[in-house]
């Protein structure tokens, strides 16, 4: 490509999206269907239109910006990511992939590159599980794993069902059954994302080509003990919900650390202690567990071991533990054909790369259930993400965008 990606455009889009932020004093927070997130959606749609894309949305709010090819009847090529964030996040996780998609379709047009297939920039709804506990809501629904009935049951901490929130915002929930995407109807999907591990920075390489995306299982855990007096109740007589939680936490960590799998992680990120007072033994603790692996069987093996250990801890400490599992996603192997094209594009652009795995999940994990997928990683400072410290140089996203645009063109002309 003669004209290369412009880091200034990427900076401008990222900084503008970042103005839609409910915690400007501490990182970026843009939770699904809050005012900030809805405004960011409107902004991205308007930028898509400026780039001559035809914009439409589905019933769960996935946004599609279509750049018409010469044979629009062929299965299209997708690229994109998400614009919602975790609490107090950075300005790159997700958004980089969306603006790289915008810049790639701009490049394809200014370089007058012909393409037979349509090229579509997709903004997936709620990749982050911040509001509804489960992530990848948009791609999950497209993969046929979240229907209208499930959306009625999925509630946020305020008791609002996803289905009702969509309806209130005017999304055509009556068309929920049209969201799933038929296998074979999408030719390929390529997502650019920041590296969230630091592997690229350590290797000193500007591009990571992802081989496998690890997949999560998320649980809510409710530990019920007996609330009583911190001074009056002897150490022997306690049914302390917090101490049981602490023991479960350490067991979880140990299982994660000693796993034989190539990549296992185990996290407790959300804890609520009840009543949360200095001189009261907690009667109840509610917390989350997030377990990931690149190997589905190892993940389930770890979950089974954890359940046994939890039972032992509950019996020993005389507490009751209720586990609710929200999902058990499949790790996704990236497509060899797209990987080859990404390697060729890196060589063409003289951009060194490594192959890597993604410990984080991405919409590509679920898109991979109905289309061949692959991912491009670009370096992230110290590999820090899900944090206000998250940082990626705009020039690095631009270099990744050149590789992305080359690859999209190759795929869009492969018949």
A 10 A CB-CB count for 225 gives: 25
Q: Does 361 bind ligand GLV (CB under 6 A)?
A: yes
Please pick, from the candidates 58, 103, 128, 240, the single residue that binds ligand GLV as defined by CB under 6 A: 128
Please pick, from the candidates 90, 94, 225, 372, the single residue that binds Mn ion as defined by CB under 5 A: 94
Min separation Cβ 12 and ligand GLV, Å: 24
Q: Does 360 bind ligand GLV (CB under 6 A)?
A: yes
Min separation Cβ 412 and ligand GLV, Å: 28
Distances (CA, A) of 9 to 4, 96, 101, 102, 342: 11, 12, 12, 9, 23
Site for ligand GLV in 135-174 (CB under 6 A): 135
Q: Does 132 bind ligand GLV (CB under 6 A)?
A: no
Q: Toward ligand GLV, which CB reaches closer, 18 or 139?
A: 139
Q: Does 329 bind Mn ion (CB under 5 A)?
A: no
How many residues form the binding site for ligand GLV (CB under 6 A)?
4
List Cβ neighbours of 30 (8 Å cut-off, separation of 6 or more): 20, 21, 22, 36, 37, 40, 83, 84, 85, 89
Site for ligand GLV in 35-64 (CB under 6 A): none
Q: Toward ligand GLV, which CB reaches closer, 128 or 295?
A: 128
Min separation Cβ 127 and Mn ion, Å: 5
Q: Does 240 bind Mn ion (CB under 5 A)?
A: no
Q: Toward ligand GLV, which CB reaches closer, 14 or 66?
A: 14
Min separation Cβ 263 and Mn ion, Å: 17
Q: Toward ligand GLV, which CB reaches closer, 89 or 241?
A: 89
Q: Toward Mn ion, which CB reaches closer, 122 or 241?
A: 122
* Contact in structure between 108 and 61 (CB atoms under 8 Å): no
Q: Toward ligand GLV, which CB reaches closer, 228 or 387?
A: 387
Q: Does 353 bind ligand GLV (CB under 6 A)?
A: no
Min separation Cβ 31 and ligand GLV, Å: 13
Q: Toward Mn ion, which CB reaches closer, 135 or 283?
A: 135
* Contact in structure between 380 and 201 (CB atoms under 8 Å): yes
Rounded to whole angstroms, how far apart are CA atoms 72 and 120? 11
Which range of residues in 29-37, 86-94, 98-106, 214-222 is near Mn ion by CB under 5 A? 86-94
Q: Does 93 bind Mn ion (CB under 5 A)?
A: yes
State the residues that interact with ligand GLV by CB under 6 A: 128, 135, 360-361
């Amino acid at each position: 490509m003669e004209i290369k990606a412009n880091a200034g455009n990427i900076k401008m889009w990222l900084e503008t999206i970042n103005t839609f932020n409910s915690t400007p004093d501490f990182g970026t927070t843009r939770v699904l269907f809050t005012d900030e997130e809805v405004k960011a959606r409107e902004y991205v749609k308007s930028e898509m239109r400026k780039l001559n894309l035809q914009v439409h949305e589905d019933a769960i709010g996935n946004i599609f910006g279509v750049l018409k090819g010469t044979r629009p009847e062929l299965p299209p090529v997708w690229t994109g990511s998400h614009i919602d964030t975790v609490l107090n996040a950075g300005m790159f996780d997700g958004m980089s992939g969306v603006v790289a998609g915008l810049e790639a379709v701009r490049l394809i047009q200014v370089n007058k590159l012909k393409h037979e297939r349509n090229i579509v920039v997709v903004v997936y709804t709620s990749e982050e599980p911040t509001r509804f506990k489960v992530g990848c809501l948009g791609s999950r629904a497209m993969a046929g794993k979240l229907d209208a009935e499930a959306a009625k049951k999925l509630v946020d901490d305020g008791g609002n069902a996803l289905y009702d929130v969509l309806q209130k915002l005017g999304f055509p929930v009556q068309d929920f059954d049209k969201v799933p995407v038929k296998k074979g109807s999408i030719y390929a999907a390529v997502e650019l994302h920041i590296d969230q591990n630091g592997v690229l920075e350590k290797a000193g390489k500007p591009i990571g080509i992802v081989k496998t995306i690890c997949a999560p299982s998320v649980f809510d855990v409710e530990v019920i003990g007996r609330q009583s007096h911190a001074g009056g109740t002897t150490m022997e007589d306690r049914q302390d919900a917090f101490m049981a939680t602490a023991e479960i936490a350490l067991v979880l960590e140990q299982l994660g650390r000693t796993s034989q799998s190539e990549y296992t992680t185990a996290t407790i990120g959300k804890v609520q202690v009840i009543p949360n007072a200095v001189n009261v033994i907690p009667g109840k603790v509610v917390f989350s567990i997030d377990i990931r692996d690149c190997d589905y069987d190892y993940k389930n093996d770890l979950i089974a071991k954890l359940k046994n250990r939890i039972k032992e801890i509950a019996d020993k400490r005389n507490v009751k533990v209720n586990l609710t599992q929200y999902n058990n996603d499949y790790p996704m192997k990236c497509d060899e054909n797209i990987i080859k094209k990404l390697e060729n594009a890196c060589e063409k652009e003289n951009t060194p790369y490594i192959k890597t795995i993604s410990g984080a999940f991405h919409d590509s994990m679920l898109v991979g259930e109905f289309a061949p997928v692959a991912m491009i990683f670009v370096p992230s400072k110290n590999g820090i993400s899900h944090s206000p410290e998250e940082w990626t140089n705009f020039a690095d996203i631009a270099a990744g965008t050149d590789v992305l645009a080359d690859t999209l063109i190759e795929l869009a002309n492969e018949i």
